[in-house]
Amino acid sequence: MARYWLFKSEPDVFSIHDLQQARGKRTSWEGVRNYQARNFLRDDMQPGDGVLFYHSNADPMVIAGTAEIVKAGYPDHFAWEPGHQYFDEASTPEKPVWYMVDIRLTQVFTPPITRQSLMADPECAGMMLLKKGSRLSIQPVTEQEWHAVHRIAEALRA
């Protein structure tokens, strides 16, 4: 059974358009350094799970499109590379601390879905993303929220 997630990325660091440019429109989602988000990556995500790709720290902040998990969680090897921005001396190949998944682009929303559009929709109003103080870079999304986001995208496109 597929699950659904929201991944946050700052568009000036890695945008949905960067994912569009990625070879095969597939890339690893590395560099997550929060234990709760790491646990989602390591323990819960499976191929076929859906991802809402969210542009954070942007004006406006938007759900820019969707992706799909194509490879389940595996150790984030960048944590083992001294000098790499994601290096963590506590993580080793024998005892990895951090994990990543591979994702593949499935859809770009044109126009993207703003927070205001989400807040105005009763099925999305309870999303973790919209809760005050919610800063987690990877968040679970309910099936109802997933379908509501796609319904909003379709309505905005019309």
Given a cut of 90, whether residue 50 has pLDDT beyond it is yes
pLDDT, position 81? 87
Beta strands 62-75; 26-29: pairing state: unpaired
Q: What percent of the chain is modeled with pLDDT above 90?
A: 87
Contacts of 15 (CB under 8 A, 6+ apart): 9, 55, 64
Over residues 122-149, mean pLDDT: 95
Given a cut of 80, whether residue 1 has pLDDT beyond it is no
pLDDT, position 158? 81
Alpha-helical segments (H) within 40-142? 115-120
pLDDT tens-place string over residues 21-39: 887 788 999 999 999 999 9
Q: Is 85 helix (H, G, I), strand (E, B) or coil?
A: coil
**This prediction's pTM:** 0.94
Q: How confident is the model at residue 2 (pLDDT cuts 50, 70, 90)?
A: confident
Given a cut of 80, whether residue 49 has pLDDT beyond it is yes
18: left (phi over 0), alpha (psi -120 to 50) or beta: alpha
Q: How confident is the model at residue 118 (pLDDT cuts 50, 70, 90)?
A: very high
| C-alpha to C-alpha distance for 79 and 33, rounded to whole angstroms | 10
Please give the domain boundaries of the chain with CATH numbers for all domains: 4-157 (3.10.590.10)
pLDDT tens-place string over residues 67-106: 999 999 999 999 998 998 899 899 999 999 999 999 999 9
Exposure of 98 by Cβ count < 10 A (0-12 exposed, 13-18 middle, 19+ buried)? buried
Half-sphere exposure of 129 (CA within 13 A, CB side): 34
Over residues 37-50, mean pLDDT: 97
Check: CB of residue 124 under 8 Å from CB of residue 145.
yes
pLDDT, position 125? 92
Which residue in the block uniquely carries the two structure tokens 């998990």? 69
2 vs 34, higher pLDDT: 34
